[in-house]
Structure formats: structure tokens, C-alpha cells
């Protein structure tokens, strides 16, 4: 089980570094917004995990992240960020479900696993999959545009350097 945790941390760090290094402005801002909101959320969170304020802090943090993704998705017209916003909205729904009947849901187990924790981890991984997909798509698009610009510059240079036929005007 600990191996899965290390793999998840490695995936998050890889996605973050790749988005900051090779992603476009939408992916960069999304990663910065996600980690900034998470740091603020955990800095302001109460220390008692069984307090209702703990669940409210998680819900508020998830709603702020989803709202930030909405603004970024609209600003940059990014379908990937819209998907990340939806995944973050699902995580907010899971927190709302947990807050609805907190005593029952803390013990809601399926095959020995806490359903609320599994749902939150699943939706958070969806957010990072969307950010990774958007980063890779932006990176590939940028490479295609560079390649096309090089090829068109080469065609123009070849056309200018080769002696062409001169057509006499009638």
C-alpha cells in the first residue's frame, strides 16, 4: 500500500514539473493555483480531524480550486482545464456528501476501504490526469507549430535562392 502512495506522489511531482516546464500558460497557472490553494487550505485547517470545521475547510478549499479552474478554463479556452474543474467539482460533491451525514459516512466502508477517502483520491488523481493530458497536448501543439514554421521558412528560402523562370508579360 505504501508503494501506491509513493507512486502517486511521484506522479503528482512529475505532472507538476512537466506542466511548469513544458506546459502552456493555462497549465502553468492551473498547477500554481492548485498548489497555492492546497497550501492555504492546509495552513488554515483546524488540527482536529473530527471537527465539522475540518470538513468545511476541505469543502471550501475544493470549491476555491474548482472556481479557479473555471476562471482559467474560460480565460484560456482549455478543454483540459474544464475537465479538471469537473473532477474538482466531483471532489467537492464528495466533501458535501461527507458533510451531509458525517457520523455515518466516516464508517461507510466498502470491502474494508473508506469510500470517502477513495472518492477523494480518485477525483484528485483525475485532476492531475487532466493537467498531464493538457500539458502533453500543449507541448505537442507547440512542437507541431515550430516544425511547420521551420518547413515554411525552408520553402521560402529555397524559392528565393533558386533561379526561377521569368515570365514575360504580354
The residue ranges of every structural domain in the chain are 2-142
Residue 12 is predicted with a pLDDT of: 85
Least Cα distance to 81 among 27, 120, 150 occurs for 27
Cα(96)–Cα(98) distance, integer angstroms: 5
Hey, how many other C-beta atoms are within 10 angstroms of the C-beta on 124? 20
pLDDT at 149: 92
Q: Can you give the pLDDT at residue 103?
A: 58
The residues, any chain, with a CB within 8 Å of residue 12's CB and separated by 6 or more, are 128
Alpha-carbon distance 89 to 86, whole Å? 5
pLDDT of residue 164: 61
Question: What's residue 136's pLDDT?
Answer: 92
pLDDT mean for each 10 residues of the chain (170 residues):
80 88 90 88 76 78 90 90 90 79 59 73 87 91 93 87 61
Amino acid at each position: 500500500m505504501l508503494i501506491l502512495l509513493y507512486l502517486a506522489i511521484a506522479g503528482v511531482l512529475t505532472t507538476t514539473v512537466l506542466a511548469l516546464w513544458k506546459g502552456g500558460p493555462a497549465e502553468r497557472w492551473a498547477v500554481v493555483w492548485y498548489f497555492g490553494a492546497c497550501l492555504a487550505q492546509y495552513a488554515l485547517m483546524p488540527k482536529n480531524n473530527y471537527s465539522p470545521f475540518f470538513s468545511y475547510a476541505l469543502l471550501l478549499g475544493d470549491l476555491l480550486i474548482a472556481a479557479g479552474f473555471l476562471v482559467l478554463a474560460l480565460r484560456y479556452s482549455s478543454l483540459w482545464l474544464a475537465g479538471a474543474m469537473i473532477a474538482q467539482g466531483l471532489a467537492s460533491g464528495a466533501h458535501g456528501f461527507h458533510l451531509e451525514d458525517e457520523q455515518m459516512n466516516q464508517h461507510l466502508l466498502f470491502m474494508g476501504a473508506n469510500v470517502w477517502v477513495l472518492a477523494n483520491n480518485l477525483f484528485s488523481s483525475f485532476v492531475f490526469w487532466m493537467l498531464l493530458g493538457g500539458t502533453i497536448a500543449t507541448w505537442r501543439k507547440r512542437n507541431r507549430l515550430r516544425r511547420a514554421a521551420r518547413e515554411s521558412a525552408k520553402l521560402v528560402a529555397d524559392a528565393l535562392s533558386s533561379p526561377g523562370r521569368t515570365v514575360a508579360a504580354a
